[in-house]
Amino acid sequence: MGKYILKRFLMMLVTIFIIATLTFFLMHAVPGSPLESDRNTNETVQANLERFYKLDQPLHIQYLSYMQSIVTFDFGPSIKDPNRTVNELLARGFPISFELGMITILVAVVSGIILGTMAALRHNKMIDYAAMAFAVIGISIPNFVLATVLIQQLAVNWNLFPPATWTSPMHMVLPVLALATGPMAIIARLTRSSMLEVLTQDYIKMARAKGIKPMRIVLRHALRNALMPVVTIMGTLLAGILTGTFVIEKIFAIPGMGKYFVDSINNRDYPVIMGTTVFYSAFLIFMLFLVDIVYGILDPRIKLHKKEGDV
């Protein structure tokens, strides 16, 4: 187990290195510079600023100094907003984005699995058709469209929930709903089809022949096996939810990381781009690593480590 984690950790470092490098060169390939603006700045001032941010140096020197900032995890101050360091921005924005993301995942996974399981158990009945119609709609509607519809209907027209910001649990309902519906629909469909397959397996028939209660057959015998494909796509869904938070945060005026991320790219704010991208990638890669471990827990045939004496 320890060896496996170490190996995965080293692989994670390599991945982050590649992402950082790609981000750096893409960033510089985009025309424009953080110091460009509509204001007419004095040429000397411009040159001084460039020197200060080391933008006058050759690209490889800049690359090295960025790499250094990643290793020390000190990205320095933002260029657009020199009073704040990138680390401060992360510290302020990330907990909120994290909260939004985690609640969304929780809601999507739990409700998706319940919906999918119910649909499978009532195969070709009303509940099944209703759940799958709902799932198709959920997959088809982009979260930003859903967000605006939700705001219009539930917040503006019916006044049930506050339309924006992130201050109380009531404020969380709409953004989480908007963000979770898509992944939930995907999980529900996947759980349903995988559950239907598992329910035809011999070991389910055998459990029935043993006279085991139906509830236990579903929860203990079927669900665990049916969740394998769901766990497999969790990685992709996580990435989707994380990037989804950017848009949703913007729509609901949630002060998370998404705002800084999008603004930093528009402003070519190099340190902030680097900081947020690397941080986000590292987080995502870590989550994928967790998914792999969950996989091993669910299915004993997948061994993360080799124990002695195994047949």
What's the min distance (Å) between Cβ of 112 and another protein? 20
Q: Which is nearer to another protein, 7 or 220 (CB)?
A: 220
146 and 178 in contact (C-beta within 8 Å)? yes
Cβ proximity to another protein: between 43 and 310 the closer is 310
Residue 296, burial from CB neighbour count under 10 angstroms (0-12, 13-18, 19+): middle
DSSP conformation class of 156? I
- Residue 205 CB, shortest distance to another protein, in Å, is 6
Residues that bind another protein (CB under 8 A): 201-203, 205-213, 216, 220-221, 224-225, 298-301, 310-311
Q: Which of 35, 244, 38 is nearest to 143 (CA)?
A: 244
Nearer to another protein, 154 or 204 (CB): 204
Phi, psi of 159 (to 5 degrees): 60, 35
Which long-range CB contacts under 8 A does 303-309 form with residues at least 24 apart? 304/1, 304/4, 305/1, 305/2, 305/3, 305/4
Complex with another protein: residue 192 or 259, whichever CB lies closer: 192
Minimum gap (Å) between residue 186 Cβ and another protein: 23
* Distance of alpha carbon 180 from alpha carbon 163, whole angstroms: 17
Report the alpha-carbon distance of residue 258 to residue 94 in Å, rounded.
Answer: 9
Largest Cα span, the chain? 86
Nearest distance, CB of residue 304 and another protein, angstroms: 14
Task: Pick the closer one to another protein by CB: 60 or 301.
Answer: 301
Measured over the CA atoms of residue 287, residue 292, residue 295 and residue 300, the dihedral's sign is negative
* Cβ 225 to another protein shortest distance, Å: 6
- CA–CA separation, 33 and 55 (whole Å): 9
Secondary structure letter of residue 164 according to DSSP: S
- Give me the amino acid identity at 98: F
Q: How far is the CB of 299 from another protein (least distance, A)?
A: 6
Closer CB to another protein, residue 81 or residue 299? Answer: 299
Nearer to another protein, 289 or 295 (CB): 295
- Nearest approach in angstroms of CB 204 to another protein is 8
Cα–Cα distance list, 264 to 34, 162, 253 (Å): 9, 28, 17
**Cβ neighbours of residue 294 closer than 8 Å, sequence gap 6 or more:** 231, 234
